Amino acid sequence: MRQKAKVETYDAPAGGWGSLNAVAHILTQEEVAILGSEILLKQNKSDGYMCVSCSWAKPAKPRPFEFCENGAKATAWEITRKTVTPEFFAQHRLAELQTWSDHQLEEQGRLTTPMRYDRASDKYLPVGWDEAFREIGAELNRLDPRSVIMYTSGRASLEASYMYQLFGRMYGTSNFPDSSNMCHETTSVALPEVIGVPVGTVQLEDFETTDCVFFFGHNTTTNAPRMLHPLQEAAQRGVPIVTFNPLRERGLERFVNPQNPVQMIAGGTRISSQYYQVRVGGDAAAIIGICKLVIEADDRAVKSGEPRVIDVDFITQHTSGFDEFAAFCRAQDWNEIERASGLPQSAMLAAANTYMAANAVIANYGMGVTQHRHGVETAKMIVNLLLLRGNIGKRGAGISPIRGHSNVQGQRTVGISEKTKLVPLDKLAELYGFEPPRWDGLSTVDACEGILKGEVRGFVSLGGNFLRAVPERSLMEPAWSHLRLSVQIATKLNRTHLVPGEITYLLPCLGRIEIDQQASGAQAVSMEDSTACIHGSRGQRRPVAEHLLSEPAIIAGLAKATLKPNPDVGWDAWVADYSKVRDAIERTYPDQFKDFNARMFEPGGFARPLAARERKWKTPNGKANFTVPKAAFAPPRESDGIYELMTMRADGQFNTTIYTEDDRFRGITGGRYVVFMNPADMEDDGLKSGDTVTLVTEAGDGVERSLSELQVVPYGIPRRSVAGYYPECNVLIPLWHYAEGSKVPAAKSVPVRLFKDIPPEILDDEDAPISAT
Ligand SMILES: Nc1nc2c(c(=O)[nH]1)N[C@H]1C(S)=C(S)[C@@H](COP(=O)(O)OP(=O)(O)OC[C@H]3O[C@@H](n4cnc5c(=O)[nH]c(N)nc54)[C@H](O)[C@@H]3O)O[C@H]1N2
Ligand SMILES: Nc1nc2c(c(=O)[nH]1)N[C@H]1C(S)=C(S)[C@@H](COP(=O)(O)OP(=O)(O)OC[C@H]3O[C@@H](n4cnc5c(=O)[nH]c(N)nc54)[C@H](O)[C@@H]3O)O[C@H]1N2
Ligand SMILES: [Mo]
């Protein structure tokens, strides 16, 4: 039986005292109380280190404390003095550790020593670095490079990422899936087609001059809390903030800056001026409704000779496809729009009026858009909305996909990509005198398919927790154990490390906040934030253990043990002095990284040039493109007994890292096995608060996917939608259920059926409800 979560209504604003309490709690828990707080003063400053949590922009003029509750938690979690030593592994077999929770595993502290799995004892045993590199190199050389995956989670620096992809390509693979394949790959597919860049066009300064902000599917309070500061400033200037989210997310309603004593007393600022609880997956329909209203208002203006509503000059000069899109919108039926969006026409009218009244509009979005079957269409629909009034490439306006990991965007910029057309292969060939593979590699979903089929034989992981982050957990874990080689470069112990292949290594690395001492002195690294600005970062803390190597040093060690010597690549020289890696990055991408070493510590970061910001469109037709969606409307689902499950993050987690089992803003304490439900649906299904249910995926493919003992929590969520936590619910997501075009798992719209759990005391063992963990 699972422990029951405590459920309360959380009425306080985001930020404020609750935030300070949560930080204080984690600092004590991680035993870094005093030093931990001092170190926080260096967070996100140009003389300090870049936060390891989210990727939100870092201002040129930082606040005295440029960190948030969750950034502080991430720091404390990384610089903890608790360690996982060879003695720990000597005490615990993997079979035992596999029964521990995600929280328990990471809570043990930092990995300290390279370890190799020993099947006879079912334990990890210590190994020397050189021996580890030698065996991994020899094994890689026995494997076909096409059968080897080199995964990255978005935290590693630009320097480490560049070296990693170069190593992989010289070895002979293009298989570089990234956490981005589960995240904003939808953006990276949608935006190049319509505006010619794979990233957002908004920079921090645009928030200072915008006069309207739209938000689709992002839980800013928890996942990019520092973003609440510019939003609060905008709200205080009277800028309307229009939010679309099936759940009422606390910080998007009201926020108190915990660093501002006056606000702490006054109770904070209302953030969203309009909040629309759109149906899960209903954003595209809602935006079509808004666009229809804008276009029809413009039609009326033409008739009556009044000023035009759309930006005619911009549309004529810069775009293509407007007439088809306008015709499509005019032809849409309101009944269908209301059904598919879950919103009344009056709501879309109010949003359209706000949109039309503003000269410069920013549209932000997160996983509520990208992790849907029609995510790519929806992201393009957001672009349609912006293009109508020239809201791209204008001060105070633009599109703002809010990225996840702190350097996930940058990794793609320096060549971590399975899509070879995105990588300057000719340049790499010229610089390093080798022939890189020209075939396209595997995405995350493709890699999972390859693992299930037994075609993937080796898996090297630069960070992350692959097995916990991907869908289809019940099939993935057994298949993973058939790998020939699993190499995990990591800071903390997680589930992926506990499912060994035939040969398995766990290689511990320095964290970003630690001092990285190399032959030429202490090294700095760099990363790119969500607004395409590059920042330098210097470790501040003495490393937690003496045997740790930096990520660049581990990559160089693996490369040297695997590849034939190549006089054009000085792995050792790079490790001795990372500025030489930055020179190499600049040589590879001269336009993007001009004067990289000289500029990396510019306050606020240096902005990479972005064509769309200057209204230059690097699309095939040289224009910004309106697009007509092929299938924007989710099918009707009112009476077939199926619920739409979205999986999301709680306040107490960073992805699969679970700091605490709480979700403060949603009123949950001490448990993550919950399902949020509309009270009217609960009544129809004869459920009351605290009952437990089993969710069973409605997939029709013969695979049984279910999760039991989920505690029902009544919540403000649209009818027929339910919500649960990632990664616990990943067992319910079929691998083939992903966004069309980007293959991002559609983790926000899983069709499920719901069954009331029968209390164990009245159950015979034979009819126990099907369950999985
Ligand atoms: N503290 C902390 N910070 C993080 C992370 C973390 O786990 N913890 N993770 C990092 C990473 S990698 C990422 S990608 C980001 C993720 O940040 P988010 O994009 O906020 O991701 P989720 O928590 O999955 O929440 C998605 C939001 O979308 C809403 N939503 C779900 N379905 C729909 C829909 O159909 N339409 C709309 N409009 N909304 C919908 C949900 O209610 C929720 O508010 O955060 C990053 N920052
Ligand atoms: N159902 C569902 N599934 C999802 C999502 C969802 O919303 N719903 N979200 C998806 C998204 S947006 C993402 S980005 C992925 C995340 O997938 P991943 O990026 O693979 O997962 P993380 O949980 O971020 O990885 C945590 C681990 O990284 C390691 N680590 C931490 N810091 C460092 C470091 O500095 N160096 C190294 N080498 N290792 C480090 C630690 O060992 C830690 O255990 O999950 C995806 N999966
Ligand atoms: Mo992400």
Classify residue 488 by its DSSP letter: E
pLDDT at 263: 58
For atom 38 of ligand 1, the residue with the nearest CA is 217
Choose which residue among 101, 115, 155 to substitute to test ligand 2 binding: the one with the highest number of ligand atoms within 8 A of its C-beta: 155
Tokens matching residue 619: 């699309």
d(CA 744, CA 307): 42
Choose which residue among 648, 665, 728 to substitute to test ligand 1 binding: the one with the highest number of ligand atoms within 8 A of its C-beta: 648
What's the gap in Å between 9 CA and the centre of ligand 2?
A: 29
Residue 386 in 3-state DSSP? helix
pLDDT at 727: 98
pLDDT at 773: 34
Residue 480 in 3-state DSSP? helix
- Inform me whether the pLDDT recorded for 764 exceeds 60: no
Average pLDDT over residues 477-489: 98
- Inform me whether the pLDDT recorded for 70 exceeds 90: no
Q: How confident is the model at residue 766 (pLDDT cuts 50, 70, 90)?
A: very low
Closest CA to 540 of 553, 556, 525: 525
Domain 83-182+407-513+546-595 CATH (choose: 3.40.50.740, 2.60.40.10, 3.30.70.3040, 3.20.20.10): 3.40.50.740
- Inform me whether the pLDDT recorded for 744 exceeds 70: yes
Q: How many residues does the chain have?
A: 773
Query: Rounded to the nearest 5°, which phi and psi values hold at 621?
Result: -100, 10
Residue ranges per structural domain of the chain: 83-182+407-513+546-595, 186-401, 642-772
* Ligand 1 pocket by Cβ (under 6 Å): 53-54, 70, 183, 216-219, 222-224, 244-247, 249, 278, 280-281, 283, 366-368, 404-405, 646, 648-649, 653-655, 748
Pick the atom of ligand 2 nearest to 183's CA: 12
pLDDT at 39: 81
Closest CA to 705 of 695, 693, 691, 715: 695
For atom 10 of ligand 2, the residue with the nearest CA is 182
For atom 7 of ligand 2, the residue with the nearest CA is 648
Please check whether the domain covering 642-772 is classified as CATH 2.40.40.20.
Answer: yes
- CB count in 10 Å sphere of residue 422: 16
pLDDT at 772: 36
Which of the residue ranges 56-70, 78-92, 300-314, 602-616 would you say has the lowest mean pLDDT? 56-70
Q: How confident is the model at residue 252 (pLDDT cuts 50, 70, 90)?
A: low
pTM of the model: 0.95
CB of 607 within 8 A of CB of 532? yes
Q: Which residues of 120-139 are buried (b: 16+ CB within 10 A; e: fewer)?
A: eeebbebbeeeebbebbbeb
Averaged confidence pLDDT in the chain: 92
Tokens matching residue 567: 């006089």
What's the gap in Å between 224 CA and the centre of ligand 1?
A: 9
Closest CA to 249 of 676, 555, 535: 676
Query: Rounded to the nearest 5°, which phi and psi values hold at 605?
Result: 85, 160
Q: What is the DSSP string of 217-275?
A: S--HHHHSGGGHHHHHHHHHTT--EEEE-SS--GGGTEEE-TT-HHHHHHT-EE--SEE
**H-run or E-run covering 74:** helix 69-79
- Inform me whether the pLDDT recorded for 703 exceeds 60: yes
pLDDT at 637: 61
CB of 221 within 8 A of CB of 665? yes
What's the gap in Å between 469 CA and the centre of ligand 3?
A: 10
Residue 303 in 3-state DSSP? helix
* Closest ligand (CA of 738): 2
pLDDT at 23: 67
- Inform me whether the pLDDT recorded for 767 exceeds 50: no
d(CA 128, CA 145): 25
What's the gap in Å between 260 CA and the centre of ligand 2?
A: 32
Residue 212 in 3-state DSSP? strand
For residue range 611-647, list pLDDT tens digits in order.
999 999 999 999 999 999 987 576 666 568 899 999 9
Closest CA to 207 of 363, 366, 403: 363
CB of 658 within 8 A of CB of 732? no
Residue 567 in 3-state DSSP? coil
d(CA 96, CA 102): 13
Tokens matching residue 106: 């990471």
What's the gap in Å between 747 CA and the centre of ligand 3?
A: 12
Average pLDDT over residues 708-737: 96
Closest CA to 584 of 133, 160, 277, 191: 160
Q: How confident is the model at residue 44 (pLDDT cuts 50, 70, 90)?
A: confident
Classify residue 745 by its DSSP letter: B
CB of 224 within 8 A of CB of 406? no
Average pLDDT over residues 455-466: 98
Q: What are the start-end ranges of the H helices in 389-513?
A: 408-413, 425-432, 444-453, 466-469, 473-480
For residue range 551-600, list pLDDT tens digits in order.
999 999 999 999 999 999 999 999 999 999 999 999 999 999 999 999 99
Closest CA to 79 of 541, 422, 695, 621: 541
Amino acid occupying residue 743: K
- Inform me whether the pLDDT recorded for 262 exceeds 60: no
Q: What is the DSSP string of 589-629?
A: STTTSTTHHHHTT-TT-EEPP-GGGGT---STTSSEE----
For atom 31 of ligand 1, the residue with the nearest CA is 368
pLDDT at 771: 37
For residue range 369-425, list pLDDT tens digits in order.
999 999 999 999 999 999 999 999 999 999 999 999 999 999 999 999 999 999 999
- Inform me whether the pLDDT recorded for 13 exceeds 90: no
Pick the atom of ligand 2 nearest to 488's CA: 38
- CB count in 10 Å sphere of residue 435: 11
For atom 40 of ligand 1, the residue with the nearest CA is 368
d(CA 586, CA 527): 14
For atom 2 of ligand 1, the residue with the nearest CA is 223
For atom 42 of ligand 2, the residue with the nearest CA is 492
Q: How confident is the model at residue 769 (pLDDT cuts 50, 70, 90)?
A: very low
CB of 274 within 8 A of CB of 21? no
Q: How confident is the model at residue 71 (pLDDT cuts 50, 70, 90)?
A: confident
pLDDT at 761: 58
pLDDT at 234: 94
Pick the atom of ligand 2 nearest to 151's CA: 20
Radius of gyration of the CA atoms of the chain, in A = 25
Query: Rounded to the nearest 5°, which phi and psi values hold at 469?
Result: -85, -25
Q: How confident is the model at residue 67 (pLDDT cuts 50, 70, 90)?
A: confident
Strands of the sheet containing 533-538, edge to edge, are 516-518, 521-528, 533-538, 606-607
d(CA 280, CA 283): 8
d(CA 669, CA 661): 7
Amino acid occupying residue 472: E
pLDDT at 47: 81
Pick the atom of ligand 2 nearest to 404's CA: 14
Average pLDDT over residues 495-519: 98
Pick the atom of ligand 2 nearest to 461's CA: 38
What percent of the chain stands above pLDDT 70? 91
What's the gap in Å between 371 CA and the centre of ligand 1?
A: 9
In this structure, which residues have their CB less than 5 angstroms from ion ligand 3?
183, 404
Q: How confident is the model at residue 178 (pLDDT cuts 50, 70, 90)?
A: very high
Q: How confident is the model at residue 139 (pLDDT cuts 50, 70, 90)?
A: very high
pLDDT at 267: 53
What percent of the chain stands above pLDDT 90? 82
* Closest ligand (CA of 55): 1
End-to-end CA distance of the chain: 12
Amino acid occupying residue 368: G
d(CA 203, CA 529): 10
* Closest ligand (CA of 666): 1
What's the gap in Å between 148 CA and the centre of ligand 1?
A: 31
CB of 515 within 8 A of CB of 543? yes
- Inform me whether the pLDDT recorded for 519 exceeds 50: yes
Fold of the domain built from segment(s) 186-401: Dimethylsulfoxide Reductase; domain 2 (3.40.228)
